[in-house]
Amino acid sequence: EVPVLFKKELQNEEAKEGKQVKLTCELSKPDAPVKWMKGDTVLYASEKYEFKQRGTVAELLIRDVKSMDA
């Protein structure tokens, strides 16, 4: 099976504390499973984190951004 690759990798984004930021990447295969991580920690959907995926595009929305989210 062909491995899933990044067609468009994550880009650095800036956001003001208390606002929200959206991180987006594009994969080589539509609807491939995506696991979002911060360092070694897996992120799970919550009031803070929202995940969306449409075809090859995966998005992570981080609400109420704090400096520790860097």
DSSP 67: G
The answer to the question of residue 32 being in a domain is yes
pTM for the full model?
A: 0.89
pLDDT at residue number 1: 77
Range of the domain at 42: 6-62
Predicted local confidence at residue 2, as pLDDT = 83
CB 18 within 8 A of CB 24: no
- Inside any domain, residue 69: no
Is 68 part of any domain?
A: no
Q: Is residue 41 part of a domain?
A: yes
Give the chain's residues under pLDDT 70. none
C-alpha 30 chain-centroid distance? 16
| 27 inside domain | yes
Q: How many domains, the chain?
A: 1
* Rounded to 5°, angle at Cα 39 from 33 and 44: 45
pLDDT at 26: 96
pLDDT the model gives residue 41? 95
Q: Domain with 11 in it: what CATH number?
A: 2.60.40.10
Say if 17 falls within a structural domain.
yes
